[in-house]
Amino acid sequence: MSAPARLILASASPRRRELLGRLGVPFEVVVAVVTEHEEASTDPRVMVAHNAALKADWVAARYPAAVVLGADTTVFIDGAALNKPRDAAEARSMLRRLSGRTHTVFTGVAARRGSDGLRLDEGVASDVTFKPLDDQGIDAYLARVHTPDKAGGYAIQEHGDLIVAGYRGSFSNIVGLPLETTKQILTRCGLLA
């Protein structure tokens, strides 16, 4: 009987770690040492797919027997990607831009296994509509949520009621890992029945 397949999450994101844990498949975390492409004018689908594959490929090259899962998420509005803000001022600017409007959250998910050349790539999009926000509302949100590591300067799962009017599509995608798609990928990889 062969040893059970190993799953590695190629991400430093605590949100992805928590979400993947919900699927009940044992996994390890190995953070890929890569430079992500974050040019705001790049097609967001291409950018998140590229970054997810970059992370998965880097880890899979070092752990060829494991199934490696890479993911990347961005927020897209007005033809530009809003990646992780550099500081509170940029987070505030992003929230002002999203205020009262609908934007799209794109996530790329890549699975790799070096030993047999397995390569699966999927992309998911969800729409989020923000409430109209004034400076006081933005300040109240930023006082409660640490935003520098979050695309678009917000986290729907942390005090989202203060800023989000509604969403369409996968909630877990907006958080950073679309569980429905990830479950399908892991099933195709033989890690879930």
Q: Which residues does the annotation mark as catalytic?
A: 72
3-state secondary structure of 174: helix
Exposed/middle/buried for residue 33 (C-beta within 10 Å: 0-12, 13-18, 19+): exposed
Distance of alpha carbon 72 from alpha carbon 16, whole angstroms: 10
Q: Which residues contact 103 (CB under 8 A, 6 or more apart)?
A: 75, 76, 77, 82, 127, 128, 130, 152
Provide the pairing of β-strand 102-113 with 7-9.
unpaired
